[in-house]
Structure 1
């Protein structure tokens, strides 16, 4: 009669019987699990960090791998949320990594104790605020267009407000990514978690004209050159970083009196999506522009707009005032 497989965690997992080659917390096994995933390298790195955190939790709480239960996975979620005070999205990402690993381990005879354990419930609102139409106009009007830096900043801010690009998408863009599709100017982008530039945003004339003006001032605007570059003496002509984009946006906002941690570069993305819906775009059309994988994310924007437009509190005031 074969000996049952047993696993114990004491810094790393060891296999109780010699005929088994699957050690769940062995680095080689973790590497094999990550290699099996059809995910971007950045997501795999996130999963690796998340699973390392889970291993540390198991060790620090003196748990044995062979006695872990679903309750222990839930305790890990509570530890991340309460003790570590991680954001709900981060907690959900960590739990996603643990569920993924146990799904993989199940193929090697280990019970999938993580099945059905949900991530932390996230708020249906956004942590970052969006601009009003007046604020967006003032933001653009406050930019000094007499310098190359000013021309760049205006083109960048204007682009983000009109297309909803993320800061990393702006940073990755090259001059040659501006192309024509069916007679329409577009900017091909490498989206979040995407391996290449396989999607695009439509460039209206109002979005493209400031970019053309800015590139006309540049010494190098060849196809392989970054779309937005630094003008600092130390790294002039080099690609902007996400930190640089964040600084440009924050400085522009401070010029119009907005100095609030809820307003960041990502606020311009929120603003663009909100404006598209306010301007008459359908939820599906807004989803395509924003490149949301799930339309439910886009629907949050629509819900927030409807909440303000049709606030029930106004009905109370009409009765009482």
Structure 2
């Protein structure tokens, strides 16, 4: 087993060094490989490094029988394929047992999006009343800055909470900021003037500005010098959604990111440009938003075409 563990360690080291895989990605790959190892040892009587196509067919079938989603099974197969290709490249194996395994078909799950009116309602609900307590004012300032940035720039929540205070100084108009995304990849995204104003308002409530420790977290948590946690932000966003009259389960940072992408496409944005803004490595990931547009167009025809089901008959 030690040889297998060593080969898995080497594989993960390669992913980190050559592809810049993130820590969470490496941890997920290790869990997947360890799980497959346990299955092969238990049912095949040998190690993962020596697994056969029959072993892997059995493993993938067991995942389906256990109720794992096709997306999860496909991800684990992708991990195994990369692992065995790594072994072939290093001369440990001459064949790839995953070559005979078919990727399960995944149903297309359309991303949830908010309407443009819903976004406006969220921003209105994030505004603190004049008699609000200092705590309420700060939570409102966090919500306003976060919603503006998530919706205006399509950031992931991890990217948002990692932003330094200096982003409040981005140039006039649609100033560009550098964001470090998945796998440590950097990209430029625009930051609207409204979003910068909201960021400066948050810093003012905290008694700071962008010049004071510019690398410090824009969204500071309770501990000095540490950013707000994801859980704490989720609570703030849920409060705002409730005040806006929206189901709390329908509003999340990723829904705001989806809304950013869908609304851009609806207003004529180019798919390749959208891929760059979202930081997608593969255009196929971005193409999911074309399905959203297809649904929108079908809905328009259904509601407004003379022969549509929702159209009024003369």
TM norm. shorter chain > 0.5: yes
Structure 1 counterpart of 2:65 = 82
The answer (yes or no) to whether the contact 1:174–1:227 under 8 Å persists in 2 is yes
Structure 1 counterpart of 2:182 = 192
3-state DSSP of counterpart to 1:310: helix
- Most deviating of 136-145 and 239-248: 239-248
Q: TM-score w.r.t. structure 1 length?
A: 0.80
Distance 1:78 1:259 in 2: 37
The answer (yes or no) to whether the contact 2:44–2:55 under 8 Å persists in 1 is no
Structure 2 counterpart of 1:7 = none
Structure 2 counterpart of 1:30 = 8
Distance 2:218 2:243 in 1: 25
Corresponding position: 1:212 with 2:190: no
Structure 1 counterpart of 2:293 = 305
Q: How many residues were matched structurally?
A: 292
Corresponding position: 1:123 with 2:107: yes
Q: TM-score w.r.t. structure 2 length?
A: 0.82
Q: Which runs of 5+ in 1 are unaligned?
A: 1-11, 14-22
The answer (yes or no) to whether the contact 1:201–1:289 under 8 Å persists in 2 is yes
Distance 1:79 1:179 in 2: 54
Identify if the C-alpha distance between structure 1 residues 308 and 61 changes in structure 2 by more than 3 Å, giving closer, same or farther: same
Q: Give the root-mean-square deviation of aligned CA atoms.
A: 2.8
Q: Which runs of 5+ in 2 are unaligned?
A: none
Corresponding position: 1:171 with 2:155: no
Corresponding position: 1:227 with 2:211: no
Distance 2:10 2:57 in 1: 25
* Deviation by residue 1:168-223 (Cα, 9 ceiling, x = unmatched): 1111111134565798512221112226xx21210121222111222122234421
- Which residues in structure 2 correspond to 1:45-84 (within 5 Å)? 45-65=27-47, 68-83=51-66
Counterpart among 242, 248, 262 of residue 236 in structure 2: 248
Distance 1:108 1:69 in 2: 14
3-state DSSP of counterpart to 2:268: coil
Shift of 1:319: 9.5
Distance 1:58 1:31 in 2: 18
Distance 1:244 1:189 in 2: 22
Distance 2:172 2:242 in 1: 40
Shift of 1:320: 10
Corresponding position: 1:283 with 2:300: no
Choose between structure 1 and 2: higher helix proportion.
2
3-state DSSP of counterpart to 1:115: helix
